[in-house]
Structure 1
Amino acid sequence: MNKNIIQALIARLIVATFYVLYFIFVNAELVFSALVGVLACLVPEVYQGMKLSKSVPELEPSKWLRLAYQAMFGKWLMSIIILAIAFSSSVEWNYFILFSGYFLVNVSGLLAPILNKGK
């Protein structure tokens, strides 16, 4: 399972990198919104992935599920805190770019099983 978690994180990192690079070359004014959007999703996902990959495989299913829920709660809490700090600043955000980056990074974890199919 650790391999699947790492592959999902790598897929998210690749999508986040290309998303930010796109705005660096196309419209530099939107880079900060894009960067905060992808980081608001990527940092908590890395936290959740690290927490779940450190779990011992011999854990009972109920204990593993409890750990998974704790990691998910921590992930959402981190996302909320990052976005709250960003929105409380005096920076003018392009909300479409910010939340598009957040959404793309979040959904890109679904690419890992598709890319790993047959391996």
Structure 2
Amino acid sequence: MTKLSQHACEACRSDAPKVTGQEKQELLSVIPDWEDVMVDGEEQLRRVFTFKNFVEAQAFTNKVADLAEAENHHPAILLEWGKATVRWWTHKIGGLHKNDFIMAARTDELY
């Protein structure tokens, strides 16, 4: 099986299906450091990354931003001293799509 991070993201429409419960569990098993959270009524993937200082955290968030821009799929990123919190979800469908899991796996690779 191809690594999740190597899967292609697909263009997402507002009527695209959210991942099913079974798909979500299978995909979460591949990215175990991510948690499934509800934020403002929308299901999202969240992970907190830790660093030695602000500069390292900032460099990481810049890499995530470049990745997001390349795929035209943008997360929420919170930059703090020694840590960065990244949240992926698909805005158009108000929840989780397979693309979010792919991007989470790619974010893990950047770390």
Larger radius of gyration: 1
The question of a shared fold, defined as TM-score above 0.5 by the shorter chain, is answered with no
Higher helix share: 1
Higher strand share: 2
Q: Which has the higher contact order (CA 8 A, sep 6+)?
A: 1
Q: TM-score scaled to structure 1, two decimals?
A: 0.29
